[in-house]
Amino acid sequence: MAKKTIQVGPPTFGHEQGFWNEGKTLVAGIDEAGRGPIGGPCLAASVILDPAAYPAGLNDSKKLTDAKRERLFDEIMAQAVSVSVGVATHTQIDEMNIRQATFFAMREAALGLAVQADAFIVDGNALPPGLGKPARAVISGDALSLSVAAASIIAKVTRDRMMREYALQYPQYGFEVHMGYPTKAHVAAIAEHGPCPIHRMTFGPLKAVA
């Protein structure tokens, strides 16, 4: 018997509503960008949306074009109650491991909100420690929760912009194209030029030259 494919999304305020029903009015979504690359930082964003005024078309950042992500980024920044970004550098990733570095970035994003949240919805199957408020982990949260979708867009666009800046410093690696992911061209560039200062030396092809 053929396996059914479950379609996820579009995102709603369903998960937020659960917290709103408990009197927690300021609910922040948290998501990350950059777990898989072998170069550059891992970023996380935390976003509190105004349910009465938020951008149309919010979705998992991976389902959006670059142009739509850039447009929504500006609209989120203009309309959201509060937005914060946390960064785990390539050095921190190598020192902590990617899981702990992701949690670090998520916690920094959560605690960095200018307007503190009453509760958090976190993309994934685990919660970063130290949030200090009620929180819920939601698998595929970026496709289910509007707040997490907004966070995914902020994290992705911010990281992509950083990687384009790094591409100007290290043009031989093509960071502006692959954003640090281990494409064939990226791995070939490392083989030819060696790693650069933003490569994660504990990841995949970098271990051989560490």
Instruction: Kindly state the average pLDDT of the residues 125-144.
Output: 97
Res. 9 pLDDT band, cuts 50 70 90: low
Angle at 8 between CA 144 and CA 113, to 5 degrees: 20
pLDDT tens per residue across span 44-57: 999 999 999 999 99
Burial 25-50 (b: 16+ CB within 10 A, else e): ebbbbbbbbbeebbbbbbbbbbbbbe
**pLDDT > 80? residue 1:** no
Tell me what pLDDT residue 4 has: 46
pLDDT digits (tens, 9 = 90+) for 77-113: 999 999 999 999 999 999 999 999 999 999 999 999 9
Q: Decide if 72 contacts 55 (C-beta within 8 A).
A: yes
Dist. CA 107–CA 131, nearest whole Å: 6
Please return the burial class of 93, using the count of CB atoms within 10 Å of its CB with bins 0-12, 13-18 and 19+.
buried
Q: CATH top-level class for 14-161?
A: alpha beta
Ranges 130-134, 191-195, 202-206: which has the least confidence: 202-206
Question: E strands of the chain, at which residues?
Answer: 27-33, 42-48, 82-88, 119-123, 135-138
Percent of the residues in the chain that have a pLDDT greater than 70, as a whole number: 94
Sequence spans of domains, the chain: 14-161
Name the band, by pLDDT with cuts 50, 70 and 90, for residue 153.
Answer: very high
